[in-house]
Every structure is written in C-alpha cells, then in structure tokens.
Amino acid sequence: MLGRGTTLRNRYRIVEPIGQGGMGAVYLAEDLRLEGRKCAIKAVRIDPNVGEEMVGELQHQFSREASVLARLDHPNLPKVSDYFTENDLDYLVMDYVSGKNLKQIVDEARRAGRFLTEVEVLTWARQLCDALEYMHTQEPPVLHRDIKPSNIKLAPSGLIKLVDFGLVKLMAKDDSRTVTVLQGRGTAAYTPLEQYGEDDTHTDVRSDIYALGATLYHLFTNQPPAEAKQRFLKPESLAPVRALNPAVSEAVEQAIMAAIAMHPDDRPSTVAELRDMLFSHKAPESASARMPPVVRQETAGDVVRSNLAWLALAVIVAVVAVIVTFFRG
C-alpha cells in the first residue's frame, strides 16, 4: 500500500486508499499539475507467479492495452487520462467519481427492510447497457470482466459510472487469441463459469452480460445470486428473482434469468438484445389514455334511428292485428 502523501511521477499525490484487491489497490490522488483536480489511480501488481522473462512482456501488454482504454470516451465510463510504470508497479489514472457505489446503496436498502424500486434499477440498467454496448462495439471489442455493484458509482447528478477497468479484456478480430489487461478473475458471484481457470479463451460479450445480469439480480433481491460453480452442482440453489422480490415484473425477471444462464448460448447474444428484453414489458398508459371516454348525449332522432328495425316490426304486427280483428268481426 502506498502511504498518504506519496507522489507518483512527480505529479500525483496520494490522498488515501479507496479500494484494495488481490492484484493491487485504488487510491484517491491530487493532480499537482492541474490544481484542484482529483483522480483515481489504480496500482496493479504483476502476478508474482510469472517468470522474469514474462514481466517485460506483461508491462508492454499493459501499456499497449491501457492506451486502448485511454481512447474510450463515453459518459458512463470514467476517462482514463494517464498510465505508467514505476517501481515495478503499473498505474492507471482515471477520473475520480464521487458518490456511493451501488453495493452501498443496495446494502442500505436491505438494512432498512426494503427493496430498490424497479424504476430506479432500470434507470441504472439502461445506462450500464449503453456503456457496455459502446465497449463491445469497439475495434477490437473491449470486455470489462468485473461488473458488480461495488464497481458501479452513482454520481450526485444521477449519472451511473462503471468505474473499474481492472479486468478489461481485448478480443482479437479473428478471435484466434485474446489478451487480458490487468490479470484477474472477477468476483465469484458475478463471474460466469467460462471465466474460471487459466484458459478463458471462450469468454466473450456474453460473459459481461452474465455479470450485468448477476448485478441486476443483486440490486433487485438485496442479495447476490448463487455462484456459478455452486449452480453447476446444485441448479436449484438459484432462487428466481420474483421468489425473493414479487414486486419485480415478469419481463424483467425473465431478462435477468436469461442473462445469468449457465451456458453462454442460452444468454442474450448482445447487450442490445438484453436491453430489449429488460424494457419489453408494456409501458404504463399515459394519463390521456386513462381518461374515461366522452359520453355523447343521444337525441330523439338518434334513438329512432338506432331502433328503426324494431319500430318497423312493431308497425307490421299492429297492422296484422287490425286485419285479423276486422275479418273476425
């Protein structure tokens, strides 16, 4: 861990740590060159199990792929402004996003004995879908690989930010090989089965879709879904969303359960497809549509016209009755 006041690259002064994981830590820092600017710096430790000959290759890989992240420009992604290596650690400098993360927000709801509303969760989901669709349609596509509530910030403006690029992965165009930025394996409850182990060449956009679905499951039910490994051995360990929160609409439940299907082929193939499923339920009717119909007052002429057939039949019956009475007389 870097101490408070440590200066990196003669520019970034560490204020305090704001997160730590197995492969590094994230710090709040001051930019000494741009007065008043705060930034988040992710320090990445190279896997100690790799040989010395791999260190240089990994650092080159980090620089090459961090430059791809620096080119990303989307309102729901923090801007990567710098990257460098110092004292055998790789650093990624990003915009600092203030506000609570969604893990903190859902934990507060759980402690209060309530669920987050479908409207607010879907508002966040739409923004997350936009960010992931943007990443997935880059050339080459960029995967996040560690989507979870604690990696999603809600800014005071209401804007959602997917803040941690810790496990970004670039896919080669011909898919013949893939390379991973900042080695790591994700968080168990939000990680699909194909992302486990050393050989994760089968991961693609559907792995991010699984993680997003697992995140939405947590936000709606106040608890993360059962881990993929547990579900593989015991499928019934995953409770349906509405079994835990009946207020969730059936369409949203179906979308989430499809997103976290065990086999990638059973999930939506794109984020756009997942978005369509999430928002496929019928929108509430507008106020004008709920207005009672205007009732028009019928005139005497309207009554006669609408009952003309019956009046004709009555006249015929009356005439027949008069004729019969006449002949009997």
Distances (CA, A) of 215 to 50, 103, 148, 320, 325: 32, 9, 5, 81, 88
Q: CA neighbours within 13 Å on the CB side: how many for 136? A: 19
> 15 by DSSP, 3-state: which?
strand
Q: What is the dihedral of CA 27, 33, 34, 36, to 10 degrees?
A: 60
3-state secondary structure of 158: coil
**17 near 1, Cβ under 8 Å?**
yes
146 is catalytic: yes
Residue 180 main-chain phi, psi, to 5 deg: -115, 130
Task: Pull the structure tokens for residue 173.
Answer: 């165009």
Q: How far is it, in rounded angstroms, from Cα 148 to Cα 217?
A: 10
Distance CA 292, CA 284 (A): 16
Residues 295, 296, 301, CA angle at the centre, nearest 5°?
Answer: 145
Q: CA-to-CA distance for 143 and 156, rounded, in angstroms?
A: 27
Q: For residue 216, count other CB atoms closer than 10 A to its CB.
A: 27
How many C-beta atoms lie closer than 10 Å to residue 290's C-beta? Answer: 8
* Distance, first Cα to last Cα, the chain: 122
Token pair, residue 306, equals 């609408």
Which positions ≥6 away from 21 have C-beta within 8 Å? 166, 184
Tokens of 256: 């989430």
Q: Which of 31, 146, 204, 208 is catalytic?
A: 146
Residues designated as active site: 146
